[in-house]
Amino acid sequence: MSVSSALAYAVKHEPRFVDELKSLLRIPSVSTDPAYAGEVRRAAVWIADHLHEIGIDEVQIHATEGHPIVTAAHMHDAQRPTVLVYGHYDVQPPDPLDLWETPPFEPTERGGRLFARGASDDKGQLFMHAKAAESWLRTAGELPVNLKFLIEGEEESGSVHLRPFLEAHQERLAADVALISDTALFAEGLPSIGYGLRGMAYVEVILDGPNRDLHSGVYGGAVENPIHALTRLIAGLHDEQGRVTLSGFYDAVRDLDDEEREAFRSLPFDEAAWKRDIGISAARTEEGYSVLEATCGRPALDVNGIGGGYQGEGAKTVLPSRAGAKISVRLVPDQRPNEVAAMLRRYFTKETPPTMKLTFRDLHGGMPVLVDRSLPAMQAAFRALRDEFGRQPVFIREGGSIPVVADFQEVLGLDTVLMGFGLDSDAIHSPNEHFGLDRFCQGIASSIRFMKEFAATG
């Protein structure tokens, strides 16, 4: 089993790989829009057929109450470790259409980049692993690892049927590690491995005061205004150092270690460009932490929405009966969503004035993720990327959440290697989404190398 043969095969067949990817990209598998349900199903069938064609056996299309889930498995040697590749074949809606330079579902190459909806997110990245498997199978006749695929069609519409599917198919999905390419390089040309994701606790609070909107002239001065109470409570959630004031909030927070902080510092982060991009004059972080540390390695509480009283044009003199807010907390290990939601509940319950009725809703939560960078799979990914890019990869933490990663951990007991080849400039979810063909090839090669490296750790 020679890596170099597999790599050479991939180089040789690149034009065909790109053509095949274009076929997949031509299918408008927009999962949020019921009008595209047939196209979403067509994409599932295309992927299933393709995996079967390249020699992956046990391909199945599973119906759900929503869009189908495709699984595949190539289990040729029980002694070898098993990798579960996750990806999604559905895409974001292409609107606004008039801002696309070429039609979103007519893949077009320009300047070494392939423009199409889904080119980067996630058809292009998902397809790399299929092509890596093909490169091994066509040259060595077998794979260095056992390989499974789990490919869903609802990632862009909330993955609502995925977790029940994991719970129902634990044996079918059993593996040693999960591998996902659905994230971005930290910077162009800088190979990156994600090892941390923030979790989330999302709640809604509503304060009800008087039983109806009151005339502020007749009642103003004697009836506590729900907006006043709510703003006071929200203002009380942070102190002047930008820290969250909830009792016990930081008790479970695993602080960044020196090595991580050093790693954050050495990342090529241009804070001035970052500020310019979002149009702010200054960052505001928890005291003592840099922008990257604060967004990736520290918890953050944000009010995502607030509303109450009159919000139309002009003036209306109402003392409103109700005000409400949506509040989310991004969590880091070892915070737990239910515990943080409970802290919020206690705070609002305690601080709501006696003139108000509190409604507190725990909307949803997700566990934070931190994968041990010394795990064999992580080190295998490190070597694979290093050898492919010719430079040291960086381990990075992400500020957002990828729910499937926490689900893999909780339901399947699987750690995940996040080995993404996107760029923040790929315009995923926007017009003119694209994927660099150089990265497509690097991704295939990295996947080929990873299988070999991971097999060697088994």
Judged by CB under 8 A, the chain residues 262 through 321 that form the site for its own copies are: 278-286, 289, 291, 294-295, 298-311, 314-320
Tell me the window of 1-9, 64-72, 199-207, 430-438 that interacts with its own copies (CB under 8 A): 199-207
Confirm if 24 and 89 have CB atoms less than 8 A apart. yes
Taking the least distance from each CB to its own copies, the nearer of 55 and 242 is 242
Return all residues near 186 (Cβ < 8 A) that are at least 6 apart: 192, 267, 268, 394, 396
Shortest spacing between CB 247 and its own copies, in angstroms: 19
Residue 257 to residues 263, 287, 297, 443, Cα–Cα distance (Å): 10, 17, 10, 30
Helix (H, G, I), strand (E, B) or coil at 224: coil
Q: Considering the rule CB under 8 A, would residue 216 count as an interface residue with its own copies?
A: yes
Taking alpha carbons only, the member of 443, 450, 384 closest to residue 128 is 443
Q: Considering the rule CB under 8 A, would residue 111 count as an interface residue with its own copies?
A: no
Amino acid, res. 64: T
Taking the least distance from each CB to its own copies, the nearer of 6 and 423 is 423
Taking the least distance from each CB to its own copies, the nearer of 18 and 237 is 237
Count of positions on this chain that bind its own copies (CB under 8 A): 79
Taking the least distance from each CB to its own copies, the nearer of 91 and 233 is 233
Among 12, 52, 212, 350, binds its own copies (CB under 8 A): 212
CA pair distance 47, 87, nearest whole angstrom: 11
Query: What's the distance, CA 45 to chain centroid?
Result: 25
Shortest spacing between CB 427 and its own copies, in angstroms: 14
Taking the least distance from each CB to its own copies, the nearer of 172 and 238 is 238
Tell me the window of 52-60, 217-225, 262-270, 385-393 that interacts with its own copies (CB under 8 A): 217-225
Taking the least distance from each CB to its own copies, the nearer of 102 and 355 is 355
φ/ψ of 440, rounded to 5, equals: -55, -45
Taking alpha carbons only, the member of 127, 114, 141 closest to residue 17 is 127
Taking the least distance from each CB to its own copies, the nearer of 28 and 194 is 194
Taking the least distance from each CB to its own copies, the nearer of 50 and 161 is 161
What is the residue-wise DSSP string for 141-175? Answer: SS-SSEEEEEEES-GGGT-TTHHHHHHHTTTTT--
Shortest spacing between CB 296 and its own copies, in angstroms: 8
Taking the least distance from each CB to its own copies, the nearer of 27 and 404 is 404
Shortest spacing between CB 241 and its own copies, in angstroms: 13
Taking the least distance from each CB to its own copies, the nearer of 76 and 228 is 228
Site for its own copies in 40-79 (CB under 8 A): none
Both structure tokens of 267:
């990342």
Interaction mask 228-257, its own copies, x per CB under 8 A: x-xxx-xxxxx-------------------
CA pair distance 339, 356, nearest whole angstrom: 25
Shortest spacing between CB 396 and its own copies, in angstroms: 12
Among 68, 209, 393, 420, binds its own copies (CB under 8 A): 209
Taking alpha carbons only, the member of 135, 132, 134, 99 closest to residue 115 is 99
Q: Considering the rule CB under 8 A, would residue 355 count as an interface residue with its own copies?
A: yes
Shortest spacing between CB 289 and its own copies, in angstroms: 8
Shortest spacing between CB 162 and its own copies, in angstroms: 17
Shortest spacing between CB 10 and its own copies, in angstroms: 32
The label of the residue with tokens 């949020």 reads 32
The label of the residue with tokens 């895409």 reads 91
CA pair distance 179, 157, nearest whole angstrom: 21
Query: What's the distance, CA 67 to chain centroid?
Result: 19
Q: Considering the rule CB under 8 A, would residue 224 count as an interface residue with its own copies?
A: yes
Taking the least distance from each CB to its own copies, the nearer of 221 and 390 is 221
Taking alpha carbons only, the member of 277, 403, 389 closest to residue 331 is 403
Residue 244: strand pairing partners:
238
323 DSSP 8-state letter: E
Shortest spacing between CB 407 and its own copies, in angstroms: 17
Site for its own copies in 369-428 (CB under 8 A): 398-401
φ/ψ of 130, rounded to 5, equals: -65, -40
Among 132, 206, 227, 417, binds its own copies (CB under 8 A): 227
What is the residue-wise DSSP string for 43-84? Answer: HHHHHHHHHHHTT--S-EEE--SSS-EEEEEE---TTS-EEE
